[in-house]
């Protein structure tokens, strides 16, 4: 079974721009979570979607948003990028809400 | 790939030895715990999990121990191999959110 896939794998943007990252979960998985990973802050939870509804949200500003489609694929969007948004953005999928999460390889975002 | 964490605690072991990675978690109400392994340039890989109603769980070459009294979790890796070199994270589920520890770097020397 194919794992979680994320696109693009690498991205360079400038301050003030916006970015959309995509995640395709493991086939049959209906829950998708997003995390931000930085050397300084570690792995931090952004949000979790299940059945196209956001079920949980971390402590990030409103510039960070997401959505989930009927096929369980998910996107996250960051608007008005700041230098501090440079990070590895990880997507994880699980069979159902609150089940074991399996991570994708991440999208590495660099904001200049 | 870029380092997962630049100043993580490091555990250095000889190939073939057993490794024990420790984690102190924060919340007494956490009901589920997971260990992940992350190699450079990759996403975290699930290793083993344990629910709060258990104190020990074994997998292939790995054992997780949970001590709720002192809020401590450990991961034991038997016969450590060079391929085990990575950063290891514990995570606790607290009120429906996964909270990750800072991680420990495991370095396996031949």
Segments in chain A below pLDDT 50 = none
Residue B4: its pLDDT value, please?
47
Nearest to B43 among A48, A100, A103 (CB): A103
Separation of alpha carbons B41 and A85, rounded Å: 18
| Residues in chain A within 8 Å Cβ distance of B5 | 39, 42
- How far apart, in whole angstroms, are the C-alpha atoms of residue A10 and residue A88? 9
Q: Which residues of chain B neighbour A103 with C-beta distances below 8 Å? A: 36, 43-46
Task: Enumerate the residues of chain B whose CB falls inside 8 A of the CB of residue A56.
Answer: 96-97
The mean pLDDT of chain B is: 91
What confidence tens digit (pLDDT) does each residue in A50-80 have?
A: 999 999 899 999 999 999 999 999 999 999 9
Contact A11, A110 (CB under 8 A): yes
Which residues 31-70 of B have a C-beta within 8 angstroms of A?
A: 34, 36, 41-46, 49
Put simply, the answer to whether B96 touches A105 (Cβ < 8 Å) is no
Mutate to test the interface with B, among A3, A10, A21, A37 (most CBs of B within 10 A): A37
A46-75 residues touching B, CB cutoff 8 A: 48, 55-56, 58
Cβ-based neighbour number of residue A95 at 10 Å: 15
Residue B6 pLDDT: 55
Beta-carbon contacts of residue A83 (< 8 Å; ≥ 6 apart): A15, A111, A112
Q: Do B97 and A90 touch (CB under 8 A)?
A: no
Q: Which of B6, B34, B45 lies nearest to residue A39, judging by beta carbons? A: B6
Q: Can you say how many angstroms the Cα of residue B18 is from the centroid of all Cα atoms in its chain?
A: 14
| Best of A42, A95, A105 to mutate (most B CBs within 10 Å, chain B) | A42
- Residue by residue, pLDDT tens for chain B (110 residues) are 334 455 789 999 999 999 999 999 989 999 999 999 999 989 999 999 999 999 999 999 999 999 999 999 999 999 999 999 999 999 999 887 889 999 999 999 99
- pLDDT value of residue B2: 39
The pLDDT of residue B95 is: 81
Count Cβ neighbours within 10 Å for each residue of A51-90 and write b for 16 or more, e otherwise: eeeeebebebeeebbbbbeeebbbbbebeebeeebbbbbb
């Amino acid at each position: 079974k194919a794992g979680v896939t994320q696109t693009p794998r690498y991205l360079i943007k400038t301050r003030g721009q916006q970015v959309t990252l995509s995640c395709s979960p493991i086939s049959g998985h209906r829950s998708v979570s997003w995390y931000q990973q930085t050397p300084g802050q570690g792995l931090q939870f952004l949000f979790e979607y299940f059945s196209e509804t956001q079920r949980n949200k971390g402590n990030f500003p409103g510039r960070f948003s997401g959505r989930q489609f009927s096929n369980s694929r998910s996107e996250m969007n960051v608007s008005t990028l700041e230098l501090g948004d440079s990070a590895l953005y990880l997507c994880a999928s699980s069979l159902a809400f609150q089940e074991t999460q399996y991570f994708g390889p991440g999208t590495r975002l660099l904001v200049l | 790939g870029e380092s997962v964490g630049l100043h993580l605690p490091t555990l250095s072991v000889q190939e073939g030895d057993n490794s024990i990675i420790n984690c102190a978690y924060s919340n007494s109400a956490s009901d589920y715990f997971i260990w992940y392994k992350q190699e450079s340039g990759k996403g975290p890989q699930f290793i083993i999990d344990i629910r709060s109603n258990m104190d020990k769980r074994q997998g292939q070459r790995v054992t997780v121990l949970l001590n709720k009294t002192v809020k401590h979790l450990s991961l034991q890796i038997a016969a450590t191999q060079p391929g085990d070199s990575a950063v290891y994270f514990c995570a606790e589920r607290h009120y429906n959110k996964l909270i990750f520890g800072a991680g420990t770097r495991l370095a396996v020397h031949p």
